[in-house]
Amino acid sequence: MAELNGKVALITGAARGQGAAEARLFVERGAKVIITDVLEAEGKELAESLGEAAIFVRHDVTDTESWDAAVAAGISAFGRLDVLVNNAAIYLMKPLVETSSEELERILKVNLLGAFNGIKAVLPAMTAAGGGSIVNISSQAGLEGLMNHSAYGSSKWGLRGLSKIAALELGPSQIRVNSVHPGPIATPMVPYLTTGPGSFPTLPLERSGLPEEVAELVAFLASDAAAYITGAEVTVDGGLAAGKFIPRNMQ
C-alpha cells in the first residue's frame, strides 16, 4: 500500500471521475490535496467532504495565470507541493474526416497544453521541496491507434511523449515524471460504459475498470515506493493494450 503521509498533491480535473477517486485515496493515505477543476459545485462539495486535508481551487488548465493561482493557493494552504497529477481532459470520438481543425485544437489545448502548463507551473515549488512526482494521465489511446480518436488520441500520444522528455530533463532535479494509460474506465467522460463482470467482453479481464483502480496506480507512482521509477508508461486497462484479444464468442 502506497503511503502518502506528509505529501501535498495538486490534482487537476478532480471534481469528479478518476481525479475525485484519486483525491479521496490520497487523503486516505495521508496526503493533503488541492482539488482543481472548472466544475465548481462538484469540486467544492468533494473538498468539503474531505475536511481540512483538501481545498478546492477553480482552475482552467489551459490558462497559465490560472495555474499560477492554483499553485499559490496550494502552497498558502499546505506550505509545499510534492505531487502533480495532470488528470484534466476532454474527450471526442469522431471519424477523422468529420473532425474539424478547431476540435483538434480544443482537445490539444486542454489535454496536452494543459499538462505542459502544469509541469512548468509546479517546477519552482517542487525544486524548492527537493524533488517531486508528476503523473500524467494519458490513455490506451496514447499507446495504440484507436479508430475515431484522431484528436483525443493525438493529445494522449503527445502527453506520453511529453512525459518522457520531462522525465529526462527533470530527473537531475529529482522530479519523476510517468504516464498512466487507463483503458475503459466507468466515469462521466464515457457514460455509456457499464461495470461488473462481462461489462467489456473484448478485453482480457472482460470488464470496464473503476476510477478507484486507476487511483491505486497513481497513488503508487506519487509515493516514495516508486522512488526509482521515472519515464515509465504504465497501463491500467484490463489487458487491452497487451495485444489482439479474441473474445470467447469468436474463438
Ligand X SMILES: NC(=O)c1ccc[n+]([C@@H]2O[C@H](COP(=O)([O-])OP(=O)(O)OC[C@H]3O[C@@H](n4cnc5c(N)ncnc54)[C@H](O)[C@@H]3O)[C@@H](O)[C@H]2O)c1
Give the span between the Cα atoms of 105 and 85, in whole angstroms.
Answer: 22
Closer to ligand X by CB, 2 or 143: give it.
143
Closer to ligand X by CB, 59 or 176: give it.
59
Q: Where on the chain is the footprint of ligand X (CB under 6 A)?
A: 12-13, 15-19, 37-39, 59-62, 87-90, 110, 114, 137, 139, 182, 184-185, 187-190
CB 240 within 8 A of CB 183: yes
**Considering just the CA atoms, what is the radius of gyration of the chain in Å?**
17
DSSP lists the bridge partners of residue 125 as none
Residue whose C-beta lies closest to ligand X: 17
> What stretches of 51-149 show up as alpha helix (H) in DSSP?
64-78, 101-108, 114-128
> Would strands 54-58 and 83-86 be described as parallel, antiparallel, or unpaired?
unpaired
Q: How far is the CB of 247 from ligand X (least distance, A)?
A: 19
For the question of residue 152 being annotated catalytic, the response is yes
Q: How far is the CB of 180 from ligand X (least distance, A)?
A: 8
DSSP lists the bridge partners of residue 134 as 84, 177
Q: How far is the CB of 5 from ligand X (least distance, A)?
A: 25
Q: How far is the CB of 91 from ligand X (least distance, A)?
A: 6
Closer to ligand X by CB, 19 or 74: give it.
19
Q: Which of 91, 152, 192, 228 is catalytic?
A: 152
> Would strands 83-86 and 8-12 be described as parallel, antiparallel, or unpaired?
parallel
DSSP string, 167-206: HHHHGGGTEEEEEEEE-SB-STTSTT---STTSSTTSTT-
Closer to ligand X by CB, 123 or 185: give it.
185
Closer to ligand X by CB, 116 or 131: give it.
116
Assigned C-alpha cell, 196: 461488473
Give the span between the Cα atoms of 71 and 119, in whole angstroms.
Answer: 11
End-to-end CA gap in the chain: 38
- CA 142 to mean position of chain CA atoms: 13
Closer to ligand X by CB, 129 or 183: give it.
183
Size of the chain in residues:
251
Q: How far is the CB of 114 from ligand X (least distance, A)?
A: 6
AA letter at 82? D
Q: How far is the CB of 89 from ligand X (least distance, A)?
A: 3
Q: Which residues are catalytic?
A: 152
